[in-house]
Amino acid sequence: MLNLYIEPKSKETDRKGRKGRIFRAELIGYVTCPELYDEREERASVRPLHLTLAGPDSELSVFLANFVSLGHPAKLEGQPNSWDDPTIFECLKTLKYKVEIQKNCGRPGTSCARVYLPQFSEPKQPIGEESEVKFTCVIPTWWVDERMKAEVLPNPTLCQAVITHAARLGILAEQPGGDNPLGLPLKLGRDELLRLVPVAYYFARFLDLNTGVPFLREPAYFVQVYLAALKAGIASLPHTEYSRYAYHRDRPAGDDWFFARRRDLLGFVTVVAQAMGLEQAIAVSCEAARLGEFLTQQISLYYQLTG
């Protein structure tokens, strides 16, 4: 178990001999992508993009008041390398973190808190003519499960359209060989492809709000754009412990998605994603003009392949 704790500013006791209180919360997991919002040359502390905490109701609320509202730094307790200095987490007030709390999370009297940067984590219409597009999608597993159960699996026409288009793109595992217009270095089975439909739709919502290019409302097109954006370097998946250092040697064994982990976003990582209930995290950082050109190309390719 990992915990964050906030020490009192002074180790001195008060007039009654009491020491300052230490505030704690269980760290479930977190996502960082400092290249989007942290301009420090040397990042001595972790400024998370998305953080999930848990603890007794009263204790968690006090911890959040100190950690988020007051901006006090917290140290990591229980990290594997005990000889290292504790990792420091901080939520700067100037970054304007948002907090969502879920009561009775796991057991009575325990709450979970989601702390995140809304400007990079919520779909929104950009203000004015922005030259760069920067955002992340942090997609929960429960949301993907619900979409699969309610919208994808009960719709055989949708499923067949996605699988047929994957075959056109040359990425269907059961059809080796053939053209591969996206240049993707992987093949996907039917179940993997269908599981991508909600993920690609979630991603498409964000893209649609950041471009003036018409966006097709076809699930097969969503999957095409999602995979193409990863291949083109428009978007990136998080780095793993191994992929962050793998550019100096061969691709990590078993990582079919290594191509989708951008070298210029090495700080984009997810820690204990499964415990957070995280299906996928996706980061986008590119020029707005490039994104518009990319989507225009993808629409043309879709119509070319579908006739």
Render pLDDT for 181-212 as a digit per residue (tens, 0 to 9). Answer: 999 999 999 999 999 999 999 999 988 887 77
CA distance 218 to 307: 15
Where do the domains of the chain lie?
1-122, 124-262+274-307
Inter-residue contact 285 to 131 (CB < 8 Å): no
Q: Is 249 helix (H, G, I), strand (E, B) or coil?
A: coil
Question: Contact, 138 vs 116, CB < 8 A?
Answer: yes
Distance (Å, whole) CA 270 – CA 253: 19
In single-letter form, the type of residue at position 38 comes to D
- Other CB atoms closer than 10 Å to residue 214's CB: what's the count? 10
Strands (E) in 141-293, as ranges, are 235-236, 269-271, 278-287
Check: pTM over 0.85? Answer yes or no. Answer: yes
Considering only CA atoms, which of 39, 62, 181, 64 is closest in space to residue 116? 64
Of the segments 56-60, 137-141, 162-166, which one has the largest average pLDDT value? 162-166
Place of tokens 């998305």: 50
246-264 residue pLDDT tens? 655 566 667 889 999 999 9
Q: Which two tokens stand for residue 60?
A: 């968690």
Q: What is the DSSP letter of 108?
A: T
Q: Which residues contact 178 (CB under 8 A, 6 or more apart)?
A: 167, 170
Mean pLDDT, range 162-191, rounded to an integer: 92
Contact by Cβ (8 Å): 171, 227: yes
